[in-house]
Amino acid sequence: MKKLILIKVVLSIFFTLYANSTNIRQARAIGIFDENGNGENIQHIRKTKNDYNGTCFTKVSVFGNFYYTTPNVYIGNSKGYLQKEESIFNKNKIKIGTTLLYKHYNVTNGYIKVSIDNKTYDSKVFVK
């Protein structure tokens, strides 16, 4: 009886740890847009060309599985709220990642920060 209880405890701990794990290879901010749909690609730049004060949108690509956690995206002190999620598939129709669209309110300026489980994946682009 004691062995059965011990096995149940060990299995529940194992499945709890496995369920909360992530397998993320990359998470990058790839675009920023204003309310009118005007935007720019921010993959290989350090500073945006346009001003994005007020309300704006950011597009983030995450390669890997993040299961039950949601990536956090900030522009300075403005937190992004998830609006849309699309899967990314390879040529064999296997899911390899996800594209996420976030909406930010009251943006002034600051760096775009993409983090998952308190681990920062991207924070190099400064938004005017």
CATH code where residue 94 lies: 2.60.40
Let me know if residue 47 belongs to a domain: yes
Within-domain flag for 12:
no
Give the pLDDT of residue 24.
87
User: Would you say residue 9 lies in a domain?
Assistant: no
Task: Name the domain count of the chain.
Answer: 1
Decide if 79 contacts 104 (C-beta within 8 A). Answer: yes
DSSP 8-state secondary structure symbol assigned to residue 43: T
| Residue 118 included in any domain | yes
Residue 16 placed within a domain: no
Where in the sequence is the domain holding 91, given as residue range(s)?
22-127
Q: pLDDT confidence of 15, banded at 50, 70, 90?
A: low
pLDDT at 19 over 60: no
Q: 3-7, 21-25, 49-53, 82-86: which has the minimum mean pLDDT?
A: 3-7
11 in a domain, yes or no?
Answer: no
Give the global pTM: 0.80
Cα torsion 92, 42, 82, 110: sign = positive
* Structural domain contains residue 59: yes
